[in-house]
Structure 1
Amino acid sequence: MVDMQLQEMNLLLLVLATSPFVSSQNVERTSHDDTTIDSCPELDAGPPGIEFGELYAKVETNSVLLVDVREPEELQEYGRIPTSVNLPLGQIDDIVKLSDREFEAEHGFAKPRPEDHNVVLSCKSGVRATEAWQQLQPYGYCSIRVYVGSYLDWKANGGPLV
Protein backbone atom coordinates (compact mmCIF):
# COMPACT_ATOMS: atom_id res chain seq x y z
CA MET A 1 0.00 0.00 0.00
CA VAL A 2 2.79 2.43 0.93
CA ASP A 3 4.72 1.54 -2.24
CA MET A 4 1.62 2.27 -4.32
CA GLN A 5 1.18 5.65 -2.63
CA LEU A 6 4.85 6.47 -3.25
CA GLN A 7 4.46 5.50 -6.91
CA GLU A 8 1.37 7.70 -7.23
CA MET A 9 3.19 10.56 -5.50
CA ASN A 10 6.18 10.20 -7.83
CA LEU A 11 3.86 10.12 -10.86
CA LEU A 12 2.13 13.26 -9.58
CA LEU A 13 5.51 14.94 -9.14
CA LEU A 14 6.47 14.02 -12.69
CA VAL A 15 3.20 15.47 -13.99
CA LEU A 16 3.69 18.63 -11.97
CA ALA A 17 7.30 19.00 -13.06
CA THR A 18 6.30 18.84 -16.71
CA SER A 19 3.07 20.83 -16.38
CA PRO A 20 2.95 24.17 -18.19
CA PHE A 21 0.79 25.47 -15.32
CA VAL A 22 3.41 25.03 -12.63
CA SER A 23 6.48 27.21 -12.82
CA SER A 24 9.64 26.06 -11.10
CA GLN A 25 9.94 29.63 -9.85
CA ASN A 26 6.72 29.18 -7.82
CA VAL A 27 7.36 25.74 -6.34
CA GLU A 28 10.28 24.36 -4.41
CA ARG A 29 11.04 20.76 -3.59
CA THR A 30 11.18 19.53 -0.01
CA SER A 31 11.30 16.22 1.78
CA HIS A 32 8.32 15.06 3.84
CA ASP A 33 7.94 11.58 5.34
CA ASP A 34 10.77 10.23 3.15
CA THR A 35 8.96 11.42 0.02
CA THR A 36 10.06 14.34 -2.10
CA ILE A 37 7.11 16.66 -2.65
CA ASP A 38 6.52 20.20 -3.80
CA SER A 39 5.85 23.00 -1.35
CA CYS A 40 4.95 26.62 -1.73
CA PRO A 41 7.56 29.24 -0.87
CA GLU A 42 4.81 31.83 -0.21
CA LEU A 43 3.91 30.25 3.16
CA ASP A 44 5.08 33.31 5.09
CA ALA A 45 3.01 35.62 2.89
CA GLY A 46 -0.23 34.04 4.11
CA PRO A 47 -3.01 32.56 2.03
CA PRO A 48 -4.47 34.28 -1.01
CA GLY A 49 -8.00 35.31 -0.13
CA ILE A 50 -11.35 35.56 -1.85
CA GLU A 51 -14.15 38.04 -1.11
CA PHE A 52 -17.89 37.41 -0.80
CA GLY A 53 -18.86 38.78 -4.22
CA GLU A 54 -16.37 36.69 -6.16
CA LEU A 55 -17.14 33.55 -4.15
CA TYR A 56 -20.90 34.09 -4.50
CA ALA A 57 -20.55 34.25 -8.29
CA LYS A 58 -18.43 31.08 -8.31
CA VAL A 59 -20.95 29.24 -6.09
CA GLU A 60 -23.81 30.36 -8.37
CA THR A 61 -22.01 29.03 -11.46
CA ASN A 62 -20.69 25.93 -9.66
CA SER A 63 -17.16 26.87 -10.73
CA VAL A 64 -15.50 26.42 -7.34
CA LEU A 65 -14.67 23.51 -5.06
CA LEU A 66 -15.57 25.06 -1.72
CA VAL A 67 -14.16 22.99 1.13
CA ASP A 68 -15.62 23.65 4.58
CA VAL A 69 -13.16 22.44 7.23
CA ARG A 70 -15.56 22.69 10.18
CA GLU A 71 -16.72 19.60 12.03
CA PRO A 72 -19.86 17.89 10.61
CA GLU A 73 -21.84 18.77 13.75
CA GLU A 74 -21.23 22.48 13.11
CA LEU A 75 -22.56 22.18 9.58
CA GLN A 76 -25.72 20.52 10.87
CA GLU A 77 -26.20 23.11 13.62
CA TYR A 78 -25.43 26.33 11.71
CA GLY A 79 -25.79 25.37 8.05
CA ARG A 80 -23.28 25.63 5.27
CA ILE A 81 -22.63 27.56 2.09
CA PRO A 82 -24.34 25.90 -0.91
CA THR A 83 -22.17 23.52 -2.97
CA SER A 84 -19.59 23.26 -0.17
CA VAL A 85 -18.12 19.90 0.77
CA ASN A 86 -16.87 18.93 4.20
CA LEU A 87 -13.29 17.87 4.93
CA PRO A 88 -12.76 18.48 8.67
CA LEU A 89 -9.55 20.26 9.66
CA GLY A 90 -8.48 17.45 12.01
CA GLN A 91 -8.48 15.00 9.09
CA ILE A 92 -6.75 17.14 6.43
CA ASP A 93 -3.29 15.63 6.90
CA ASP A 94 -4.66 12.09 6.53
CA ILE A 95 -7.04 13.00 3.70
CA VAL A 96 -4.33 14.53 1.53
CA LYS A 97 -2.38 11.27 1.69
CA LEU A 98 -5.25 9.20 0.23
CA SER A 99 -4.92 7.93 -3.32
CA ASP A 100 -7.31 9.42 -5.87
CA ARG A 101 -9.44 6.27 -5.77
CA GLU A 102 -9.54 6.12 -1.96
CA PHE A 103 -10.39 9.81 -1.73
CA GLU A 104 -13.27 9.62 -4.22
CA ALA A 105 -14.66 6.44 -2.63
CA GLU A 106 -14.57 8.02 0.83
CA HIS A 107 -15.73 11.56 -0.03
CA GLY A 108 -17.83 11.19 -3.16
CA PHE A 109 -15.94 13.64 -5.38
CA ALA A 110 -12.61 13.78 -7.17
CA LYS A 111 -9.55 14.59 -5.10
CA PRO A 112 -8.37 18.15 -5.78
CA ARG A 113 -5.03 18.38 -7.54
CA PRO A 114 -2.26 20.64 -6.25
CA GLU A 115 -2.41 22.61 -9.50
CA ASP A 116 -6.19 23.26 -9.30
CA HIS A 117 -7.04 26.95 -9.19
CA ASN A 118 -10.71 26.61 -8.22
CA VAL A 119 -10.32 25.37 -4.63
CA VAL A 120 -11.39 27.61 -1.73
CA LEU A 121 -11.24 26.75 1.97
CA SER A 122 -13.77 28.05 4.48
CA CYS A 123 -14.81 27.48 8.09
CA LYS A 124 -16.74 29.64 10.58
CA SER A 125 -14.53 32.73 10.65
CA GLY A 126 -11.47 31.91 8.53
CA VAL A 127 -9.09 30.77 11.27
CA ARG A 128 -9.39 27.02 10.66
CA ALA A 129 -9.47 27.54 6.89
CA THR A 130 -6.11 29.30 7.20
CA GLU A 131 -4.80 26.42 9.34
CA ALA A 132 -5.94 23.95 6.66
CA TRP A 133 -4.19 26.05 4.01
CA GLN A 134 -0.98 25.87 6.07
CA GLN A 135 -1.30 22.09 6.38
CA LEU A 136 -1.73 21.72 2.61
CA GLN A 137 1.29 23.84 1.61
CA PRO A 138 3.90 21.10 2.10
CA TYR A 139 1.93 18.97 -0.39
CA GLY A 140 2.24 21.56 -3.16
CA TYR A 141 -1.29 22.99 -3.00
CA CYS A 142 -0.04 26.47 -3.88
CA SER A 143 -3.17 27.77 -5.61
CA ILE A 144 -5.73 27.18 -2.85
CA ARG A 145 -7.49 30.30 -1.61
CA VAL A 146 -9.09 31.04 1.75
CA TYR A 147 -12.44 32.71 2.28
CA VAL A 148 -11.15 34.76 5.20
CA GLY A 149 -14.55 35.79 6.57
CA SER A 150 -15.94 32.33 5.85
CA TYR A 151 -19.40 31.36 7.17
CA LEU A 152 -19.78 34.50 9.31
CA ASP A 153 -19.03 36.81 6.37
CA TRP A 154 -21.25 34.81 4.03
CA LYS A 155 -24.15 35.04 6.49
CA ALA A 156 -23.53 38.76 7.20
CA ASN A 157 -23.69 39.45 3.44
CA GLY A 158 -27.02 37.63 3.11
CA GLY A 159 -25.63 34.61 1.29
CA PRO A 160 -27.92 31.60 1.22
CA LEU A 161 -27.29 28.66 3.56
CA VAL A 162 -28.27 25.04 3.30
Structure 2
Amino acid sequence: MAVKIRLSRGGAKKRPYYRIVVADARDPRDGRFIEKIGSYNPMLPKDSEERVKIDTERAAEWLKHGAVPTDRVARFLADAGLVEWKHGDNPKKGTPGEKAKEREAERAEKEAAKKEAEEEAKAAAAAPAAEDAPAEEAAAEAPAEEAKADEAPAEAETSEETKS
Protein backbone atom coordinates (compact mmCIF):
# COMPACT_ATOMS: atom_id res chain seq x y z
CA MET A 1 0.00 0.00 0.00
CA ALA A 2 1.40 3.44 -1.01
CA VAL A 3 1.14 5.85 1.90
CA LYS A 4 1.34 9.61 1.57
CA ILE A 5 1.58 12.44 4.05
CA ARG A 6 -0.61 15.14 2.57
CA LEU A 7 -3.08 17.94 3.22
CA SER A 8 -6.81 17.32 3.62
CA ARG A 9 -8.92 20.42 3.19
CA GLY A 10 -11.54 21.58 5.62
CA GLY A 11 -12.96 24.96 6.54
CA ALA A 12 -15.53 27.17 4.87
CA LYS A 13 -15.62 28.62 1.38
CA LYS A 14 -12.70 31.04 0.88
CA ARG A 15 -11.54 30.26 4.44
CA PRO A 16 -9.32 27.18 4.01
CA TYR A 17 -8.05 25.05 6.84
CA TYR A 18 -6.00 21.92 6.25
CA ARG A 19 -5.27 18.81 8.29
CA ILE A 20 -1.91 17.14 7.71
CA VAL A 21 -2.82 13.48 7.39
CA VAL A 22 -1.29 10.12 6.56
CA ALA A 23 -3.48 8.46 3.94
CA ASP A 24 -3.52 5.78 1.29
CA ALA A 25 -2.46 7.39 -2.00
CA ARG A 26 -5.52 5.91 -3.73
CA ASP A 27 -8.02 7.61 -1.38
CA PRO A 28 -9.51 11.01 -2.28
CA ARG A 29 -7.96 14.20 -0.92
CA ASP A 30 -10.65 14.90 1.67
CA GLY A 31 -11.62 11.28 2.11
CA ARG A 32 -10.50 8.52 4.42
CA PHE A 33 -7.14 8.82 6.17
CA ILE A 34 -5.08 6.65 8.47
CA GLU A 35 -3.91 9.25 11.00
CA LYS A 36 -4.01 12.99 11.54
CA ILE A 37 -0.53 14.28 12.44
CA GLY A 38 -0.98 18.06 12.27
CA SER A 39 -2.77 21.09 10.89
CA TYR A 40 -2.10 24.05 8.60
CA ASN A 41 -4.03 27.32 8.66
CA PRO A 42 -2.98 29.53 5.71
CA MET A 43 -5.17 32.39 6.96
CA LEU A 44 -2.78 33.12 9.82
CA PRO A 45 0.34 35.31 9.33
CA LYS A 46 3.48 33.52 8.17
CA ASP A 47 5.36 34.23 11.39
CA SER A 48 2.59 32.79 13.59
CA GLU A 49 3.41 29.60 15.48
CA GLU A 50 -0.20 28.43 15.08
CA ARG A 51 0.02 28.46 11.26
CA VAL A 52 1.62 25.00 11.00
CA LYS A 53 1.42 22.40 13.75
CA ILE A 54 3.02 18.98 13.21
CA ASP A 55 3.50 16.05 15.55
CA THR A 56 7.15 15.54 14.55
CA GLU A 57 7.49 12.19 16.33
CA ARG A 58 4.58 10.63 14.43
CA ALA A 59 5.73 12.20 11.13
CA ALA A 60 9.23 10.78 11.64
CA GLU A 61 7.72 7.35 12.38
CA TRP A 62 5.65 7.41 9.20
CA LEU A 63 8.65 8.56 7.15
CA LYS A 64 10.60 5.56 8.51
CA HIS A 65 7.78 3.29 7.33
CA GLY A 66 8.07 4.72 3.80
CA ALA A 67 5.35 7.37 3.70
CA VAL A 68 6.05 9.93 0.96
CA PRO A 69 5.18 13.57 1.73
CA THR A 70 3.64 15.83 -0.90
CA ASP A 71 5.60 18.90 -1.94
CA ARG A 72 3.83 21.31 0.44
CA VAL A 73 4.04 18.93 3.39
CA ALA A 74 7.72 18.27 2.58
CA ARG A 75 8.32 22.00 3.01
CA PHE A 76 6.69 21.90 6.42
CA LEU A 77 8.69 18.84 7.41
CA ALA A 78 11.89 20.50 6.19
CA ASP A 79 11.15 23.48 8.44
CA ALA A 80 10.78 20.99 11.31
CA GLY A 81 14.09 19.37 10.33
CA LEU A 82 12.72 15.95 9.36
CA VAL A 83 13.42 15.86 5.61
CA GLU A 84 15.59 17.72 3.14
CA TRP A 85 13.36 19.59 0.73
CA LYS A 86 14.36 20.91 -2.69
CA HIS A 87 12.43 22.56 -5.47
CA GLY A 88 10.47 20.48 -7.94
CA ASP A 89 11.89 19.28 -11.22
CA ASN A 90 10.06 21.74 -13.49
CA PRO A 91 12.47 24.63 -14.02
CA LYS A 92 10.29 26.34 -16.64
CA LYS A 93 7.29 26.62 -14.34
CA GLY A 94 8.36 29.92 -12.83
CA THR A 95 9.60 31.62 -15.99
CA PRO A 96 7.44 34.40 -17.45
CA GLY A 97 5.33 33.80 -20.55
CA GLU A 98 5.75 35.37 -23.99
CA LYS A 99 3.45 38.34 -23.35
CA ALA A 100 5.18 39.15 -20.07
CA LYS A 101 8.56 39.06 -21.85
CA GLU A 102 7.19 41.40 -24.56
CA ARG A 103 5.87 43.83 -21.93
CA GLU A 104 9.24 43.77 -20.16
CA ALA A 105 11.03 44.52 -23.44
CA GLU A 106 8.66 47.44 -24.11
CA ARG A 107 9.28 48.82 -20.61
CA ALA A 108 13.03 48.55 -21.14
CA GLU A 109 12.77 50.43 -24.47
CA LYS A 110 10.65 53.17 -22.87
CA GLU A 111 13.12 53.55 -20.01
CA ALA A 112 16.05 53.72 -22.42
CA ALA A 113 14.28 56.39 -24.49
CA LYS A 114 13.42 58.30 -21.32
CA LYS A 115 17.05 58.22 -20.14
CA GLU A 116 18.25 59.40 -23.57
CA ALA A 117 15.76 62.28 -23.48
CA GLU A 118 16.94 63.24 -19.99
CA GLU A 119 20.59 63.14 -21.09
CA GLU A 120 19.79 65.27 -24.14
CA ALA A 121 17.93 67.75 -21.96
CA LYS A 122 20.89 67.96 -19.59
CA ALA A 123 23.26 68.39 -22.52
CA ALA A 124 21.01 71.06 -24.03
CA ALA A 125 20.86 72.88 -20.69
CA ALA A 126 24.63 72.77 -20.35
CA ALA A 127 25.32 73.65 -24.01
CA PRO A 128 23.53 77.04 -24.11
CA ALA A 129 25.49 78.15 -21.06
CA ALA A 130 28.71 77.18 -22.84
CA GLU A 131 27.51 78.66 -26.13
CA ASP A 132 26.39 81.90 -24.45
CA ALA A 133 29.89 82.73 -23.28
CA PRO A 134 31.48 82.55 -26.76
CA ALA A 135 28.49 84.36 -28.24
CA GLU A 136 28.87 87.16 -25.69
CA GLU A 137 32.58 87.37 -26.42
CA ALA A 138 31.85 87.47 -30.14
CA ALA A 139 29.23 90.16 -29.58
CA ALA A 140 31.74 92.22 -27.57
CA GLU A 141 34.37 91.76 -30.28
CA ALA A 142 31.98 92.72 -33.11
CA PRO A 143 31.46 96.37 -32.03
CA ALA A 144 35.21 96.72 -31.52
CA GLU A 145 35.81 95.45 -35.06
CA GLU A 146 33.15 97.80 -36.39
CA ALA A 147 34.84 100.69 -34.60
CA LYS A 148 38.18 99.71 -36.10
CA ALA A 149 36.58 99.44 -39.52
CA ASP A 150 35.11 102.92 -39.11
CA GLU A 151 38.45 104.34 -38.01
CA ALA A 152 40.39 102.71 -40.82
CA PRO A 153 38.60 104.60 -43.67
CA ALA A 154 38.78 107.83 -41.76
CA GLU A 155 42.51 107.39 -41.34
CA ALA A 156 42.82 106.57 -45.02
CA GLU A 157 41.00 109.79 -45.91
CA THR A 158 43.22 111.88 -43.67
CA SER A 159 46.33 110.32 -45.08
CA GLU A 160 45.14 111.06 -48.62
CA GLU A 161 44.39 114.63 -47.71
CA THR A 162 47.80 115.12 -46.24
CA LYS A 163 49.40 113.75 -49.37
CA SER A 164 47.63 116.13 -51.61
Q: TM-score range by the shorter chain?
A: under 0.3
Larger RCO (CA under 8 A, 6+ residues apart): 1
TM norm structure 2: 0.21
Greater radius of gyration (CA): 2
TM norm structure 1: 0.22
Higher share of residues assigned strand? 2
Higher share of residues assigned helix? 2
